[in-house]
Amino acid sequence: MGVVVFERDHPRFMYWWLVSQYKNIRCMASDDARDGLNLEMLGVIPCPLPGMQEQQKIATFLDYKTRQIDRLIEKKKSLIEKLEERRIAVITQAVTKGLDKDVKIKPSGVDWLGDVPEHWEVKPVKFMTQIIRGKFSHRPRNDPAFYDGEYPFIQTGDVAQAGKYVESFTQTLNERGYFVSKEFPAGTLIMTIAANIGDMAIINFNACFPDSIVGFVPEDDVQLNYLFYMFVAMKKKLMSTAVLNTQLNLNVDRIASLVSVCPPVEEQFLIYEYLDLEVNRIDSVKRKMEDAIFSLNEYRSSLITASVTGMIDVRNVKIPKDVD
């Protein structure tokens, strides 16, 4: 690893100046495997150099202000984590206990379910839905001769980035690709079983996908949207069944053998309608927190640049003496 030492300047000021130049430096990096830089590249970047005393003042100001911003970002990240915990708790409660607090309950005999409403069925997943694995039989999978056609081809990343629904895609198959894959109809619930395992969503359009994704076709007594929330509640249990080869994978047979709970269809409708409202409320707050974090990071970056380039004068800014 190469190290560049800057002499005759305040080290914290140089640190903040380099932070302000991060994007430029990354763009200047060579294209070799080490993604390296050299002294000549760094040497041509213009660097304003105020006097040592002002460098000290700028560095102290940025140490103080960025610490404030970073703490605020961490608080918002912590809130997002709590919102996600709340989201899972709301879904799990509704899926396993129902909406009627006065309903009679019975032991399910299943650890992750606990007690469930007395009139609900407890049965393996394989009796609630068909599980159909995706397909792309050609190897290597990234052969360009099979892509860039008219058929949407869903990847695990598309599912990970989706909410309840997959509404967009980044890759398509041509006729050759379509021939070695399998198309699933719009409205299919899909789940990733490799890479980022256990992510799930409903596709809003006909699409193909590889064998790292499975599709679920619910039985007549199971509503698609309830099945989606049921699997969200089961994710921790699903993860515990994952098999480690070169990476974690979910086994289709193990998914099928897991036991869950099945309310009457009319209750499934009530449960998923309730969860759509509650989850949307939680996700709305979560998005606001994510937007706030983005804005704070943007502000942090602009504050650093403005300070080290003299766009703002921080010489007379008062920094509390008790700041560590």
What pLDDT, in 10s, does the model give residues 190-205? Answer: 999 987 889 999 999 9
Structure tokens at 256: 């099928």
Residues 12 and 112 in one domain: yes
Residues 7 and 100 in one domain: yes
Residues 78 and 181 in one domain: no
Concatenating the DSSP letter of every residue in 145-169 gives: GGEEEEEEB--HHHHHH-SSEE---
Q: How far apart are CA 324 and CA 321, in angstroms?
A: 8
Could you tell me which of 18, 21, 24 has the C-alpha nearest to residue 3? Answer: 18
Could you tell me which of 250, 226, 248, 227 has the C-alpha nearest to residue 238? Answer: 250
Residues 103 and 140 in one domain: no
Domain boundary pick from 236, 262, 288: 262
Residues 63 and 184 in one domain: no
> Residue 28's pLDDT is what?
61
Structure tokens at 126: 């394989």
**Residue 262 main-chain phi, psi, to 5 deg:** -130, 105
> Residue 199's pLDDT is what?
93
CATH number at residue 95: 1.10.287.1120
What pLDDT, in 10s, does the model give residues 42-55? Answer: 555 667 778 889 99
Structure tokens at 301: 């970056």
Residues 132 and 113 in one domain: no
Residues 153 and 258 in one domain: yes
What pLDDT, in 10s, does the model give residues 271-285? Answer: 999 999 999 999 999
CATH number at residue 243: 3.90.220.20
One-letter amino acid at 91 equals: I
Q: What's the total number of domains in the chain?
A: 2
Q: How far apart are CA 225 and CA 259, in angstroms?
A: 18
> Residue 159's pLDDT is what?
94
With contact defined as beta carbons under 8 Å apart, do 217 and 140 qualify?
A: no
Q: Could you tell me the residue range of the domain that residue 294 belongs to?
A: 1-120+263-324
Domain boundary pick from 214, 243, 262: 262
Q: How far apart are CA 58 and CA 64, in angstroms?
A: 10
Per-residue DSSP letter, 309: T
pTM: predicted TM-score of the whole model, two decimal places? 0.84
Residues 146 and 257 in one domain: yes
Residues 151 and 189 in one domain: yes
> Residue 301's pLDDT is what?
95
> Residue 4's pLDDT is what?
43
93: left (phi over 0), alpha (psi -120 to 50) or beta: alpha
Residues 237 and 291 in one domain: no
> Residue 33's pLDDT is what?
45
In the chain, alpha helices (H): 11-20, 22-28, 39-43, 52-97, 156-161, 175-179, 224-240, 252-257, 265-308
> Three-class SS of residue 59?
helix
Domain boundary pick from 216, 237, 262: 262
> Residue 280's pLDDT is what?
96
Residues 56 and 165 in one domain: no
Concatenating the DSSP letter of every residue in 203-258 gives: ESS-EE--TTEEEEEE-TTS-HHHHHHHHHHHHHHHHHT-EESSSEE--HHHHHH-
Q: To the nearest whole number, what is the mean pLDDT of the chain?
A: 89
Residues of the chain with pLDDT under 50: 1-6, 33
Residues 88 and 207 in one domain: no
